[in-house]
Chains A and B, each alone.
Chain A
Amino acid sequence: MAGVTLRNIVKRYGDVEAVRGINLDIADEEFVVLVGPSGCGKSTTLRMIAGLEDISDGDIAIDGDVVNDVPPKDRDIAMVFQNYALYPHMTVAENMSFGLRLKRYPKAEIKARVDEAARILDIRELLDRKPKALSGGQRQRVAMGRAIVRNPKVFLFDEPLSNLDAKLRVQMRTEIKKVHLKVRTTTVYVTHDQVEAMTLADRVVVMNHGRIEQIGPPNELYHHPRTRFVAGFIGSPAMNFIPVQLEQASGGLTMRLSDTIAMPVPAARTERYKAHVGQSGLVLGVRPEHITDAQSASGANIVPFDIRLDVIEPMGNETLVYFTLSGETMCGRVSPEAGAADGEPLKLAANLNHMHLIDAKGEVL
């Protein structure tokens, strides 16, 4: 068990910088998820921790020791790959024990560890099978078992659930979390799926264009995103963005969406936003759950407005409504009883207590 430290990690492929100076401290027993769109450098970062890619610049330390030039096998890590990478000619038990057999562990100890991992993952009855006789979810468990038996300092997961169908993915997500609670090994997990990131992580690291946008616990990222990228990436459906002008009005600030629509800024935020009055390129960010039907929302800073809906998506417990405001497609979440219908008008309400104001550089103010 050990922490992992990344200091100014850079990865260059020729002239292209895939990772541009990453600093990250992962505590012992922590579950950290690297998340971001494809090509953001998250997998490269993970592979550098594993030692499968060289570091162009910076330092990686595992358990306090710099491992820049340490080969993968001496880093005491285990990795789970997207396509499982099980050895096709070995049985499940042989797959799981391969690393231990290479290190010449005593037979009894190997058996004990394999049995223990098989018990944790509930794959005891599969131990004699070959990988081709397993389903996708079972293969994924075996791949995790192969990591667990080694009892490494760090687990590395590279998009382990991407090859599974949606239902199994949700199930395995829970499994991974349970296993982590049992085994308590420091884990770095890479995914492009923000839901996976939110549900699994102690802390989420949002990456974009080879840089870290924000690091924090899931709820902090969700409620206090620091950049427009994080605000838009975390949460599903994504946050609504709409350009606004910030104006000084009698008794406070006003956000002007268009010539006809203006909304007052909550009084509590006047102080924070005052300096940005008249600034160009400001964007208002509101999450879909803060745009609801006017009937079920009232109170301070909840601004009702009439709109004609484009389309609706009934989800059962709620209905997603889509409409156009100042040329932007917006999404709201209303009660199924609100009477929303395709192409029909509806009275909605925006809860500005949870609004975000973003400047032209993409930073949340």
Chain B
Amino acid sequence: MTAAAMASDKSAPTRKVQYGSMSRDRAWALRWSYFFLVIFAAFFLLPPIYMFITSLKTSAEISAATNPWWVYNPTLSNYAELLTKPEYLTFFKNSVIVSVFVVTITMLISIPAAFALSRMRFWGSATLATGVFLTYLVPDTLLFIPMFKMFAVFHEITGIQLLNRWWVLLVVYPTLTVPFCTWIMIGYFASIPKELDEAAIIDGASWFQTLTRIFVPVALPGIIAATIFAFTVSWAQFLYPLAFTTSVDQLVLPVGIITTLIRGDVFAWGQIMTGALLGALPPLIIYAFLMDYYIAGLTAGATKG
């Protein structure tokens, strides 16, 4: 009887409700996502795969008219040859030293710079912040000629030769990394509530202590993101080392591979591919370990108030 009473109560909704439209919608969205992501992944993964395949071939097989996507006589001779070559190890060492120094220099400059520009409101700080960003917009292809000239003039006046020394890159690379890193850090610091530094200041912290004991730990994801960026830029930089260094013992990896493995019109493709592949490993390893931080750093401020 009660059931009958309840049924008569439910007279209002006569239209049949369609359930599951949400999940159908989602299924379609997922299908399209997979479709495009697979295309995307294939597009970007094919070159490294091709590099890997080629690195396993002998020079004879590379120039033979066989299927380029298959290795018929796999060999590790390219790896063995490259890793026993003292030049290649020098390039690798130079790259590591330059990148580590550049990252350190960049962080030592851009973290305090970003802190000052975002927090210590002084006359012209907003203009300076924009100025920092504008420097980043000037492409390195435009800068290397005037910089070359500057170094030459510097040599004439002081007698100190900067050209063809690996450490000149420690001066040059930060012109690329510092503006961008400062810019990300300004954004990250801006997302830290103002009361936090006010509390620190009332607690008796100096500006420097506020930076090192509050801001750096709180902004660590942003700092790691900036570090990864600086490392990638200096590791992969090609134009500046090509322009400013020439002796074999001063070269970094990207330039070293090109200058030593291409002799006239003879391309040692197997070794070039091997060298490039091995050179791509360090950034890959760093990304793999710090990816979560990197994403957190780049998206910070977008969601947090």
User: Residues of A at under 8 Å CB distance from B?
Assistant: 50-52, 71-73, 77-79, 81-83, 85, 87-89, 98-99, 102-103, 146, 150
Contact = CB atoms under 8 A, between A and B. Distances in A.
B201 A81 contact: no
Contacts of B200: 87, 98
28 contacts: A50-B198, A50-B202, A51-B202, A52-B201, A52-B202, A73-B201, A73-B203, A73-B205, A77-B202, A79-B198, A79-B199, A79-B202, A83-B193, A83-B195, A85-B196, A85-B198, A87-B199, A87-B200, A88-B218, A89-B220, A98-B200, A98-B213, A99-B202, A99-B203, A99-B204, A102-B204, A102-B205, A146-B203
A186 to B, nearest CB: 16
State the main secondary structure of chain A at its contact with B.
Answer: loop
A150 B199 CA distance: 13
Most chain A beta-carbon contacts within 10 A, residue among B199, B206, B220:
B199
A47 to B, nearest CB: 8
B220 to A, nearest CB: 8
Contacts of B206: 73
B217 interface: yes
Most chain A beta-carbon contacts within 10 A, residue among B195, B200, B206, B218:
B195
B37 interface: no
Contacts of A83: 193, 195
Given A83-B193, A99-B204, A102-B204, A52 B198 contact: yes
Contacts of B239: none
A150 B203 contact: yes
A102 B198 contact: no
Contacts of A98: 200, 203, 205, 213
B196 A87 contact: yes
Contacts of A150: 203
A42 B217 CA distance: 33
B214 interface: yes
Given A85-B196, A87-B196, A102-B209, A72 B201 contact: yes
A97 to B, nearest CB: 10
A178 to B, nearest CB: 23
A81 B195 contact: yes
A111 to B, nearest CB: 18
Contacts of B202: 50-52, 72-73, 77-79, 99
A85 B201 contact: no
Contacts of B218: 87-89
Interface of B: 193, 195-196, 198-206, 209, 213-214, 217-218, 220
Contacts of A71: 201
Given A73-B204, A73-B205, A102-B209, A87 B193 contact: no
Given A82-B195, A83-B193, A146-B199, 17 more contacts: A50-B198, A52-B202, A72-B202, A73-B203, A73-B205, A79-B198, A79-B199, A81-B199, A85-B195, A85-B199, A87-B196, A87-B218, A88-B218, A89-B218, A98-B200, A102-B203, A146-B203
A98 to B, nearest CB: 5
Contacts of A72: 201-202
Closest 4 CB pairs of A and B: A85-B195, A99-B203, A73-B204, A85-B199
A75 to B, nearest CB: 8
A79 B199 CA distance: 7
Most chain A beta-carbon contacts within 10 A, residue among B198, B214, B220:
B198
A272 B206 CA distance: 59
Contacts of B199: 79, 81, 85, 87, 146
Contacts of A99: 202-204
A99 B238 CA distance: 49
B221 to A, nearest CB: 11
A99 B204 CA distance: 6
B294 to A, nearest CB: 19
Contacts of B195: 81-83, 85
A71 B204 CA distance: 9
Nearest to A80: B199
B147 to A, nearest CB: 40
A354 B214 CA distance: 55
Contacts of B193: 83, 85
B111 to A, nearest CB: 16
Most chain A beta-carbon contacts within 10 A, residue among B195, B202, B209:
B202
A162 to B, nearest CB: 13
Given A87-B218, A89-B217, A89-B218, A103 B196 contact: no
Contacts of B217: 89
A69 to B, nearest CB: 15
Contacts of B203: 73, 98-99, 102, 146, 150
Most chain A beta-carbon contacts within 10 A, residue among B203, B213, B220:
B203
A88 B205 CA distance: 16
Nearest to A99: B203
Nearest to A97: B203
A45 B198 CA distance: 15
B296 to A, nearest CB: 14
Nearest to B216: A89
A188 B263 CA distance: 79
A82 B195 CA distance: 9
A85 B195 CA distance: 6
A45 B214 CA distance: 26
B188 to A, nearest CB: 14
Nearest to B204: A73
Contact of A103 (B198, B204, B214, B220): B204
Nearest to A158: B195
A51 to B, nearest CB: 8
Contacts of B204: 73, 99, 102-103
A50 B202 CA distance: 8
A89 B196 CA distance: 12
Given A99-B204, A102-B205, A81 B198 contact: yes
